[in-house]
Chain A
Amino acid sequence: MAHEQFEESVPLYAVGALEKAERQVLEVHLLSGCTACHAALKSYSAVAGLLPYGLPPHLAPVELRAGIMEARSKSHARSESHGAAVKIQEPAGSWLADMLSPGGLRPSWGFNPAVSLAAVLIAIGAIAYSAYLRSQMTIEQDQILQVQTALQEEHQRIAAAQQHLTAQHQELSALRDQVGFQTGEVEQLKAELADREEQVDQLQTHVAQQGGGNSELHKALAQRDEILALLRAPDVTVVSLAGLLDAKAAGGFILFDRSTQKALFYAFNMPALPPDKTYQLWAILDKPVSAGVFPPDHGQKTRGMVRGLPDPAKITKFAVSVEPSGGRPQPTGAIYLMGQL
């Protein structure tokens, strides 16, 4: 998809009007780091965020504030009471009750109220200190838990970011493969044509010898010559065609010679068509102009020669759409391929 198309879909994205698939395609483009689209999205999103200010204002119900503040306090209290619950598990001072109980540990010295009082006071001091230490430990444990949770969240975010990156890498390598495949196709076509050139020479000689006026053969030869001439043209432009939403696996290219206004069109992996439909190629100037119809052959490929392209200097894009047999003066069906000069 061309950058302009992404940029045009940004305002629709900002108000939430894109279909899921379109949204995902745009998000991949944004992740690829397009600064122009990022800036556009930021401004359109800010504009979308202002829309509610155009509504007649309504104040929230009085009781809602109290309800939300109460829910807030309860949630806060719940998170704080967790530490207290841990402390209750072993009641503070239970070891002291054992020590002072009749069946418990007895002091080795005889009963002395003063000594006992002192022991009780020391013990209470010890309990208080122990409770203080435990509360400190609980706070620290809470803090450690918080740090651990934060770390886990961070790990999850990093993992998600890595997944995004992997997905982008895969997409990039798929694109590279496609480019490589297209280049291979061009090379293959050139080699095939070079082979045929020799055969053509032989056939021409043969035809000359035959002296016959075999019009079919002449026509085939003329076509070959035309393709060869195009491939040899010094200023030939190669326009790569990318498959759009309904035909993502499809691709193609156009070899385009402005000086002769001729182009060779070749597409592959095109979705099969019902018998009453055909592919139509469009040269896009300020509006689309038909460059001919091309029914797909076996293997879902389609190819053909285009002659007399209108105003070649003004062509900015080529597109291929699905149209009823015989084609239409303007595109009416889904666009399957698009390429920019």
Chain B
Amino acid sequence: MAQPEASQTPSSASVPSSLLAAAAKGDQQAFAQLYDATSSILFTLALRMLGDRDEAADLLQDVYAEVWRKGARYDPARGTPTAWLITLTRSRGIDRLRSRAAKGGRASVSLEDSPAAEQAAGDGPGPLDQYAERELSTAVTKALGELPDAQQQALELAYYEGLSHTEIADRLKQPLGTIKTRIKLGMDKLRTTLQSHWEPR
């Protein structure tokens, strides 16, 4: 199989730091490539957190606006560009969940009634990059599936719904120590199982 050209859109699993740097400096083409590589994983995350396609799209508008305003602050020593964007999206998503909860809206969401995925415009990642992303997705899904349901549930409530261990214990009517242990054991197991995917190469 031919190697992808340097200008080809990477997948979210392989965004180089230089692409984020160029996008932050005002390079339109780099910005478009960054969007094509990362919008799907960020939209998936935003939709899981907010449960509403319009609100998730609105959140992505904010996130990409921050990329061109603050992208220069990205520090490669602290993780990959995609990890930075995921952290940014999660953090802005939690802000929205909190303001929604403060207004008395629903705090948790269900995706069962969300419409089917749409085809994105623009050039998608090349086949090798798509393969890398699919492989990562399969590995994470498998690793999460191997965790006991209770550990998975505690991790999801913390990560996607922004609940603290005390809030999770209250919601699940379980002792605080039990919740802490579930999160710790779950993260330990994932760290071991997914080592080849998170360890810097």
Cα distance, A42 to B80, chains bound together (Å) = 11
B35 pairs with A49, CB closer than 8 A: no
Given the interface contacts A53-B140, A55-B45, A72-B64, does A47 sit within 8 Å of B120 by beta carbon?
A: no
Query: Interface code B106-130, partner A: CB below 8 Å = 1, 0 otherwise?
Result: 0000000010011111100000000
Residues of B within 8 A of A17 (CB): 154, 158, 163-165, 168, 180, 183
Q: How far is the CB of B177 from chain A (nearest CB, A)?
A: 11
Given the interface contacts A12-B180, A68-B61, does A60 sit within 8 Å of B43 by beta carbon?
A: yes
B131 at the interface (CB under 8 A from A): no
From the candidates A8, A12, A49, A67, name the one contacting B61 in the complex (CB within 8 A). Answer: A67
Interface window among B1-9, B14-22, B82-90: B82-90
Cα distance, A60 to B136, chains bound together (Å) = 19
B137 at the interface (CB under 8 A from A): yes
Residue on B with the closest CB to A79? Answer: B26
Q: How far is the CB of A110 from chain B (nearest CB, A)?
A: 56
Residue on A with the closest CB to B137? Answer: A53
Query: Interface code A56-68, partner B: CB below 8 Å = 1, 0 otherwise?
Result: 1111111011111
Residues of A within 8 A of B139 (CB): 53
Query: Interface code A39-56, partner B: CB below 8 Å = 1, 0 otherwise?
Result: 000111111111111111
A59 pairs with B86, CB closer than 8 A: no
B197 at the interface (CB under 8 A from A): yes
Cα distance, A269 to B95, chains bound together (Å) = 39
B40 pairs with A60, CB closer than 8 A: yes
A-B contact count (CB 8 A): 163
A52 pairs with B44, CB closer than 8 A: yes
Residues of B within 8 A of A66 (CB): 121
Chain B residues numbered 154-177 whose CB sits less than 8 Å from any CB in chain A: 154-155, 158-159, 162-166, 168
Q: How far is the CB of A184 from chain B (nearest CB, A)?
A: 37
B140 pairs with A51, CB closer than 8 A: yes
Cα distance, A192 to B121, chains bound together (Å) = 83
Residues of A within 8 A of B141 (CB): 53-54
B183 pairs with A15, CB closer than 8 A: yes
B68 at the interface (CB under 8 A from A): yes
Residues of B within 8 A of A53 (CB): 41, 133, 136-137, 139-141
Residues of B within 8 A of A11 (CB): 183-184, 187-188, 191
A59 pairs with B183, CB closer than 8 A: no
Residues of A within 8 A of B158 (CB): 12, 15-17
Cα distance, A62 to B35, chains bound together (Å) = 12
Given the interface contacts A49-B82, A57-B117, does A15 sit within 8 Å of B68 by beta carbon?
A: no
Residues of A within 8 A of B28 (CB): 69, 72-73, 76
B165 pairs with A19, CB closer than 8 A: yes
B60 pairs with A51, CB closer than 8 A: no
Given the interface contacts A50-B136, A57-B137, A72-B68, does A65 sit within 8 Å of B35 by beta carbon?
A: yes
B136 pairs with A52, CB closer than 8 A: no
Residues of B within 8 A of A67 (CB): 57, 61
Q: How far is the CB of B200 from chain A (nearest CB, A)?
A: 8
Q: How far is the CB of B181 from chain A (nearest CB, A)?
A: 10
Q: How far is the CB of A131 from chain B (nearest CB, A)?
A: 25
Residues of B within 8 A of A55 (CB): 44-45, 48
Cα distance, A72 to B65, chains bound together (Å) = 7
Residues of A within 8 A of B187 (CB): 11, 14-15, 44, 47-48
Cα distance, A238 to B1, chains bound together (Å) = 68
Chain A residues numbered 62-113 whose CB sits less than 8 Å from any CB in chain B: 62, 64-69, 71-73, 75-76
B163 pairs with A60, CB closer than 8 A: no
A–B Cβ pairs within 8 angstroms, 5 of them: A17-B158, A17-B168, A45-B78, A47-B198, A64-B57
Q: Apart from A52-B41, A53-B41, A60-B118, what 15 extra A-B contacts exist at CB < 8 Å?
A: A18-B165, A44-B187, A45-B79, A47-B187, A49-B198, A50-B190, A54-B140, A55-B45, A58-B117, A59-B39, A62-B121, A65-B36, A65-B122, A69-B32, A72-B28
- 6 smallest CB-CB distances across A and B, nearest first, come from A11-B187, A49-B83, A46-B198, A17-B158, A60-B43, A54-B140
